């Protein structure tokens, strides 16, 4: 193939200034074509929404189809052979999907606030920016907004790669009919935010308790002896620290920008591979996408071999576990519940066979939900 035949390349003719102008004209032409196609896609999405309402026949219309969106993004990534990295391509198309989804019906998403939390970042990564994101003060509030249908979906943290589970989220899943219908993984990068001019001017440090744990060594080395105050979220830490030049916070870069911090030391976490997993809360079941994960709660007596008995069906049916956590049951009878995440969808025959066998080996099973696995970009 000649150079002039390759897409994106232009003939090497004339001066550099002339070639630059030709390239700009070509880019403008491509942008115009993209805009036309985007509006064409949005128009089709609006028609899809209208048809869904017509076919619903007075039943609730489900506009958000995570299994469909996951397959669109996966197909786009699989077809990407250009210079743009897969993650960048996915982010662009997530925003396109979000804008088109809003043409069908606007969505309200509750998240653990205030503005600037990693949970908000996760919500916008998953749903795109064409949603109304509603910050909540507590994880309990997020659950309440979803269960009362005041918000369509909620996003809450469930586990961190260095600090483990978020107990409050698991405890709420024990006593709710809300379903898990998605997962999001965010690489966590903490920033040390301050408005003071020197280390000696800092007399207190605000942060969420997990952020304090994740940055313990850095804080011990750089700010030994300075009191550390736990807050409900890292964004709340940034808000409190912004009120005094002698206060500092460990929070996200976005939170620093929201609350007017000009000085930020990035990457103060002790582990560079720090990742937090979030779950999407909803009220409906999600169909099979082809690359799914299922979350369940299993209750069992506290007796020898109990854990082995509930794990064996997964081994026998060749089902891979991705997470298992233990919590005391709330009945006070010395029984325990296991939160288990595994690969596969509850509607798949092999999973149903494993669940049938598991039911005979446990006190009870609660299916929290099946949902598309978080996208990876390798």
Give the active site residues: 276, 278
CA angle at residue 78 from 74 to 81, to 5 degrees?
Answer: 140
Contact in structure between 147 and 178 (CB atoms under 8 Å): yes
C-alpha–C-alpha distance, residues 159 and 130, integer Å: 27
DSSP state of 297: E
The alpha helices in 277-348, defined as continuous H runs, are 306-316
DSSP at 193? E
Residue among 108, 94, 126, 66 at smallest CA distance from 287:
66
d(CA 193, CA 191): 6
Could you give the 3-state DSSP secondary structure of residue 208?
A: strand
Output the CA torsion sign for 211, 214, 219, 220.
Answer: positive
Give yes or no for a contact between 43 and 349, defined as CB atoms under 8 angstroms apart. no
DSSP-assigned letter for residue 252: -
Residue 158's nearest CA partner among 139, 132, 136 is 139
Q: Is 40 left (phi over 0), alpha (psi -120 to 50) or beta?
A: alpha
Q: Distance (Å, rounded) from C-alpha 227 to C-alpha 139?
A: 26
Q: In this structure, what DSSP letter does residue 128 have?
A: -
Task: Determine the Cα–Cα distance for residues 114 and 234; give it in Å rounded to an integer.
Answer: 9
Backbone angles phi, psi at 221, to 5 degrees: -75, -40
């Amino acid at each position: 193939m000649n150079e002039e035949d390759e897409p994106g390349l232009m003939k090497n003719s004339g001066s550099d200034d002339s070639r630059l102008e030709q390239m700009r004209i070509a880019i403008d032409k491509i942008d115009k074509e993209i805009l036309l196609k985007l509006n064409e896609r949005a128009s089709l999405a609006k028609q899809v929404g209208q048809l869904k309402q017509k076919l619903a026949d007075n039943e609730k219309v489900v506009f958000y189809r995570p299994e469909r969106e996951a397959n669109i993004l996966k197909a786009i990534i699989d077809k990407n052979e250009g210079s743009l990295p897969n993650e960048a391509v996915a982010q662009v198309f997530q925003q396109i999907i979000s804008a088109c989804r809003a043409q069908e019906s606007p969505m309200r998403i509750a998240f653990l606030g205030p503005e600037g939390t990693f949970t908000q970042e996760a919500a916008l990564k998953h749903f795109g920016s064409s949603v109304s994101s509603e910050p909540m003060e507590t994880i309990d509030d997020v659950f309440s907004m979803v269960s009362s249908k005041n918000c369509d979906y909620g996003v809450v943290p469930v586990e961190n790669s260095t600090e483990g589970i978020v107990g409050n989220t698991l405890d709420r899943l024990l006593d709710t009919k809300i379903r898990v219908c998605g997962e999001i993984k965010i690489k966590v990068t903490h920033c040390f935010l301050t408005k003071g001019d020197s280390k000696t001017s800092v007399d207190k440090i605000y942060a969420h308790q997990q952020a304090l744990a994740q940055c313990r060594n850095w804080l011990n080395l750089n700010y030994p002896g300075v009191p550390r105050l736990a807050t409900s979220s890292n964004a709340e830490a940034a808000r409190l620290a912004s009120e005094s030049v002698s206060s500092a916070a460990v929070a996200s870069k976005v939170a620093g920008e929201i609350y007017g911090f000009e000085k930020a030391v990035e990457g103060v976490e002790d582990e560079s591979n720090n990742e937090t997993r979030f779950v999407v809360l909803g009220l409906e079941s999600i169909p099979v996408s082809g690359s799914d994960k299922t979350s369940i709660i299993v209750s069992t007596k506290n007796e020898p071999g109990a854990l082995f008995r509930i794990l064996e069906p997964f081994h026998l049916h060749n089902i891979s576990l991705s997470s298992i956590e233990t919590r005391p049951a709330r009945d006070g009878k010395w029984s325990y519940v296991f939160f288990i995440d595994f690969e596969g969808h509850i509607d798949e025959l092999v999973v149903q066979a494993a669940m049938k066998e598991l039911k005979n080996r446990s006190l009870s099973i609660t299916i929290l939900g099946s949902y598309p696995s978080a996208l990876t970009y390798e």
